[in-house]
Structure 1
Amino acid sequence: MSEDRAEDRATVAERAAWAGSRVAHEHFRTDIAVETKASKTDVVTEADRAAQREVIDVIREAFPADAMVGEEDDELKAVPETGAGWVIDPIDGTNNYVRGMRTWATAVAAVEDGEPVAAASALPALGDVYTADESDAYRDGDPIAVSDVRDPETAAVVPTIWWPREERDQYARACEAIVSRFGDLRRFGCAQAALAALAEGAIEGVITNVDCNPWDSVAGVHMIRQAGGTVTDLNGNRWRHDSTGLVASNGALHDEVLAAANEIDPQ
């Protein structure tokens, strides 16, 4: 992909994320109806659907032929291995959103042949947008970088992607692995916010052993890499959209973060 073309996609990703997040924000802290999907904690609202439609409309103005991967409606549910596409989460952190909590994001990533080339996560209730192009990552237009923390006892690590009810023992082991190794544990309830926080140096690690939906992960993974961090699967191999597990770190602590992730499911 040419440099100009990649820059165009970064610009469109940011514009689309902001557009979708504004639609979602219009309904934030209102009496919008809440529906459930696969479980009692897997919730969706009409704001999710409306925001996704807005994101897609913005993208299609610039790239009408590109594939669309989206959490809601009938869009694709897997990243295409060839060609250009977009990965969209209209409201990542819907449980936070419906509770009136500010930590939720509209995330958009551009992919080419299965690899991210641009990304944006808008958090309108917090007033921030995180972006990444082919060279750097940014918060509100200013360059960001992962932290340089090397002492595990001063590091903060996040367990992310909620576990099914029958696997909550794995969440407990994730928490135990983190608190026994690192200085602190955080849980955001929004995977893209956690990944963005790692990219900006606010935390040092993000772990899960589950298969991540691309809309929960691809945008933030690109930001972390462009900010100088490391993202692998549970075996320490470079993470892809179809990897099992996700282990992200500032790089300096990756071995320790990877070890914690591998304690979640001893099998």
Structure 2
Amino acid sequence: MSEATLRAAMAERAARAGGVVARETFRGDVAVETKANKNDLVTEADRDAQRQVIATIRQEFPNADFVCEEDSRPLGTDTTSVDLLDAVPETGDAWIVDPVDGTDNYVRGIRLWATSIATVSAGEAVAAATFLPAEGDIYTAGPESVSRNDESMTVSERGDPETFAAALIGWWAGMEGGEYASLFEAVADRFGDLRRLGSMQGTLALVASGGLEAAFMPKTPHPWDAIAGVYLVRRAGGTVTDVHGNPWSNGDDGLVASNGEAHDAVLDAVRDGLDLD
């Protein structure tokens, strides 16, 4: 078994382990804090799940490096914190962890939230897993397969944009109301259905498995919000670019993902909405 295949299996195992921890307090009494703004939330479930993910991975990869959404806290009875990397390294291996992607959904009792993990080598993803604990679905991709619940999956085969279900990722913080309205209108006018689901990794998993034909984010996503999902979409046969049409890489401007059947149409709609032409 190759190193990347081993990492894919570990990503799935760790995503399940972290997701199960978070699920224990879902729709329960959990403390909520704010971070950058009043809509940027974190709970103890986020931190507990992240600790579990790290502990699970370090059982097999004791020297693993991590890039995580939440801050570092002691693991179990250990009195030391894990030293987290500030950014995805350009050399060596690392694990990119979002313990609860869609925390606002989690806090509101909405079932679409995810524990998501990618493993990278020299800055490029080599395996990923996204677990939707409340739904019971696990999406896994490695060098040899891409699956949902251990069954092979592919992107949707729809080619007519008027039949597409597309999803806007993220919120409008940092965008003027008129900018957001223009983007929404440009996309809604061209596709059959437009949604906003509240979990970037959950949304990208749906593109990868054919539930959605497209998803887009106007702003630069954090690595833990995107790398795993982008890898899933690409391994399932889809296309992911930045808003300029270049193959997406961590740190690029925006993100546009599709089943690849009419990616230019999706990209054009997003660019028109952002007034980039």
Total equivalences in the alignment? 265
Report the Cα distance in structure 2 between the residues aligned to 1:48 and 1:135, rounded to whole angstroms: 30
Structure 2 matches for 1:81-96, cutoff 5 A?
A: 81-96=90-105
Structure 2 matches for 1:100-179, cutoff 5 A?
A: 100-164=109-173, 166-179=175-188
Q: Which moved more, 1:57-66 or 1:45-54?
A: 57-66
Report the identity percentage.
Answer: 52
Report the Cα distance in structure 1 between the residues aligned to 2:251 and 2:18, rounded to whole angstroms: 25
Q: Which moved more, 1:170-179 or 1:250-259?
A: 170-179
1:185 is aligned, of 174, 189, 194, to 194
Secondary structure, counterpart of 1:171 in structure 2? helix
The answer to whether the Cα contact below 8 Å between 2:5 and 2:144 also exists between their aligned partners in 1 is no
1:228 is aligned, of 237, 241, 248, to 237
2:222 paired residue number: 213
1:18 is aligned, of 16, 25, 29, to 16
Q: Considering only aligned residues, what root-mean-square deviation do their CA atoms show, in Å?
A: 1.3
Matched to 1:94, the amino acid is: T
Matched to 1:184, the amino acid is: D
Q: Give the superposition deviation at 1:242.
A: 1.4
Matched to 2:54, the amino acid is: I
- Unaligned 5+ residue runs, structure 1? none
Report the Cα distance in structure 2 between the residues aligned to 1:76 and 1:169, rounded to whole angstroms: 37
Secondary structure, counterpart of 1:210 in structure 2? coil
2:4 paired residue number: 6
The answer to whether the Cα contact below 8 Å between 2:118 and 2:227 also exists between their aligned partners in 1 is yes
- Unaligned 5+ residue runs, structure 2? 73-83
Q: What is the TM-score normalised by the length of structure 1?
A: 0.96
Q: Give the superposition deviation at 1:170.
A: 3.2
Matched to 2:133, the amino acid is: P
Matched to 1:70, the amino acid is: C
Secondary structure, counterpart of 2:98 in structure 1? strand
2:253 paired residue number: 244
Report the Cα distance in structure 1 between the residues aligned to 2:35 and 2:187, rounded to whole angstroms: 30
Q: Which moved more, 1:18-27 or 1:256-265?
A: 256-265
Secondary structure, counterpart of 2:172 in structure 1? coil
2:40 paired residue number: 42
Report the Cα distance in structure 1 between the residues aligned to 2:151 and 2:180, rounded to whole angstroms: 35
2:274 paired residue number: 265
Secondary structure, counterpart of 1:125 in structure 2? coil
The answer to whether the Cα contact below 8 Å between 2:11 and 2:117 also exists between their aligned partners in 1 is yes
Q: What is the TM-score normalised by the length of structure 2?
A: 0.93
Secondary structure, counterpart of 2:118 in structure 1? strand
